[in-house]
Structures are given as C-alpha cells and as structure tokens.
Amino acid sequence: MEPSGVSDEKRPTVDLIKDKNGTDQILLQNPKGASVKISLHGGQVLSWKTDKGDELLFTSAKANSKPPHPVRGGIPICFPQFGTRGSLEQHGFARNKMWLVEENPPALPSFDSTNKAYIDLIAYNNHSCFSFEFHLRVSLALDGNLTLISRVRNINSKPFSFSIAYHTYFSISDISEVRVEGLETLDYLDNLFEKERFTEQGDALTFESEVDRVYLNSRDVVAVFDHEKKRTFLIKKEGLPDVVVWNPWDKKAKALTDLGDEEYKHMLCVDGAAIEKPINLKSGEEWTGKLNLSLVLST
C-alpha cells in the first residue's frame, strides 16, 4: 500500500511558540533548516538564521523584551510615521501594538507560496484621525531569503498619509569592516545636521563615526558588504523609495539604555523606507510595500 502521498522530504513548518515573558511568537523553518522568528508584539522579526544556524540580524544583549518596549534589534516596523509626528511616539505605535495571526488573509496576487514557510499577521487601528488595516506577510523561502510584504488599507472615510521603515538591524563583524553599495551619488537628509540635504559622493559608504541619514529615491537594490564575515546582505525593495542608514557610534550607544556600549560595532541599520514623500491613501485605497533580504557568501 503506497503511503498517503506524503513524501518523506522535509516541508516548511510554521509553529506558534512563546518567549520568556509569555509573548506569542511565530517560528518559520524551511526544509534546509533556515529559520525566522517573529514576535506578535509589534509584528517584529527578531531572528533570521541561515540553514547552518548563523544569526543574521542583530539584537542587543540589553534589549528590553517586555511589551510595550520594542526590542532593540531585528526588524521593528516604524509606522505610521518614521521619526516623530505630533503627539505620536517616535517611529509610531505599530511596533508597540500586539498583532494578530490572520486566518483568512486576502490573496497576494504576486506571491508564490510553494515551498515557502510564511505567516500572515494583521494590525488594526480605529482612530478618529485615521483607521487602517495593516496586513503583513513574513515568508522564508527554500533558499533562505526573507521577505516582508506590507499592505496598508485606509478603512476610514478620510484620506490617510503615513511614512514607513523596516528598521533592519543587520548583524555585522565590525562596523569598520563594512561598506554599503547602491547609495552612491544619491541625495540624503542628514539627521545629524537638522535633516539638511546633502549629496553622497561616488564611493561606497564606509563608517568612521555616527551616521543617521535618509537616502532619497534609491535604486531598488542595496548591498551591505561584511568583509570579515565574507558575506553580503542584499536588500531588494518595492514601493520603498528611501533607505535609512544608522549607526549610533560610541557616544549615542552609551546614551541608549537598551544597547551595550560596544555593541554599535556589531550592528548596522539599513532600512527600506518611504519617508521623504509620505504615502497618501484615499478612503478604501491600499498600498503595498515589499522588502526581500538575501545573503550572498563570498569565498
């Protein structure tokens, strides 16, 4: 008697687990052993590991994982604004909300789910000024690529505008060993100079001090080369024209209670974002933004 057609090859898995505070998390694993962990607190990706178990995202050893604090690391979602806006907290409230697992998500036309481990999360907001549904699909492909697809629908009768950033903390060997390519010749707003506009020179971006910039109208592929670890992160994005680059360096690191004084050496934020030109949605309109992270190993 043939088995019931279920081959013995390993399949992608999706498991509901809890962290040490009892907060629900989702663990995605692909058949090769790569994994992604997402907290329902903030819909925040906290871990992205290769099939060999190497952690690719930075999380501070001093991170405060108790809600409502966003964990310092992984990929917090800065929404409905990046930075401050009126009375809203820095980087918005989406990363401080509890998200829900969405049982019947609207189909994603451009998404092929074969061989992907994925989860659909949703955050609602019914606020007098703005009400939205934020559908987030996090997926882990057979090749280990991590994809986040956001769909934001305005469910209010009034127009709604927002800015957004996938605040991605890459784990790196040493900030002095890293360079970023794909931002050459772009204009950027420098947060260290009251958001004054500058133009990036022609070379790759390297780091000798604090950097806190929003690069504008970037190409849809940016690369983070980690020379010492012989690996490159590729950031591919759609609907996200800007790129945030942030490293706090030593002084700012000391001022952050949830970041070790020396940890700035082992993290770099390079975020797919839409900041300079907020996204404006009429009533019932929906926006989609996509971030795909992949790893290229060099010999």
Rounded to a whole number of angstroms, the minimum distance from the CB of residue 187 to ligand TA6 is 16
Q: How far apart are CA 213 and CA 219, in angstroms?
A: 16
Longest dimension (CA), the chain: 73
Using CB under 6 A, which of 244, 275, 291, 293 touches ligand TA6? Answer: 244
Residue number with the smallest Cβ distance to ligand TA6 = 246
Contact 187, 193 (CB under 8 A): no
Using CB under 6 A, which of 13, 21, 90, 209 touches ligand TA6? Answer: 90
Number of residues that bind ligand TA6 (CB under 6 A): 7
CA angle centred on 276, ends 274 and 278, rounded to 5°: 60
Using CB under 6 A, which of 58, 79, 132, 246 touches ligand TA6? Answer: 246
Query: Cβ contacts of residue 219 below 8 Å, gap of 6+?
Result: 182
Three-state DSSP at 18 gives strand
Asked if residue 91 binds ligand TA6 (CB under 6 A), the reply is yes
The answer for 69, left when phi > 0, alpha when psi is -120 to 50, beta otherwise, is: beta
Rounded to a whole number of angstroms, the minimum distance from the CB of residue 89 to ligand TA6 is 8
191 φ, ψ (degrees, to nearest 5) = -65, -15
Q: How far apart are CA 101 and CA 137, in angstroms?
A: 10
Tokens 């290769």 identify what position?
Answer: 50
- C-alpha distances in Å from residue 130, one per residue of 100, 156, 264, 266, 283: 20, 6, 36, 38, 10
Rounded to a whole number of angstroms, the minimum distance from the CB of residue 91 to ligand TA6 is 5
Asked if residue 191 binds ligand TA6 (CB under 6 A), the reply is yes
Closer CB to ligand TA6, 91 or 153, in the complex = 91
Q: How many other C-beta atoms lie within 10 A of the C-beta of residue 248?
A: 18
Rounded to a whole number of angstroms, the minimum distance from the CB of residue 213 to ligand TA6 is 7
Rounded to a whole number of angstroms, the minimum distance from the CB of residue 48 to ligand TA6 is 18
Using CB under 6 A, which of 120, 200, 212, 242 touches ligand TA6? Answer: 212
Closer CB to ligand TA6, 71 or 279, in the complex = 71
Please identify, among the stretches 34-42, 83-91, 96-104, 289-297, the one whose residues bind ligand TA6 according to the rule CB under 6 A: 83-91
Closer CB to ligand TA6, 116 or 195, in the complex = 195
Asked if residue 96 binds ligand TA6 (CB under 6 A), the reply is no
Tokens 């789910």 identify what position?
Answer: 113
Closer CB to ligand TA6, 49 or 91, in the complex = 91
Nearest alpha carbon to residue 21 among 73, 66, 74: 66
Contact 282, 218 (CB under 8 A): no
Interacting residues with ligand TA6 between 18 and 57 (CB under 6 A): none
Rounded to a whole number of angstroms, the minimum distance from the CB of residue 252 to ligand TA6 is 8
Binding site for ligand TA6 (CB under 6 A): 83, 90-91, 191, 212, 244, 246
